[in-house]
Amino acid sequence: MLKDLQATNAAGLVKVFRGRIRSILDVDYNAFKAIVAAWNQESEKSFLRQWS
C-alpha cells in the first residue's frame, strides 16, 4: 500500500509539474506572438527596423 501511495504521489507531482510548465510556455508563446505582431506593425523606416 505504501508503494502505491508513493507512485501516486510521484504521478501527481509529475502531472502538476507538466501543467505548470505548459502554462509558462503558453504565456511565453503568447508574449512572443505579441512582440512579433508589434514588430510587423512598425514601418520600414522606423529606428528599430533600421538598426536591427
Measured CA to CA, the distance from residue 9 to residue 12 in angstroms comes to: 5
Range of the domain at 4: 1-41
**pTM (two decimals):** 0.57
Residue 33 located in a structural domain: yes
The residue with cell 520600414 is: 44
Confidence of residue 48 (pLDDT cuts 50, 70, 90): low
Structural domain tally of the chain? 1
Which pLDDT tens digit goes with each residue over 5-47?
Answer: 556 687 888 888 999 999 999 999 999 999 999 888 877 777 7
Residue 51 located in a structural domain: no
Residue 38: closest CA among 28, 49, 27: 49
Supply the pLDDT for residue 2. 58
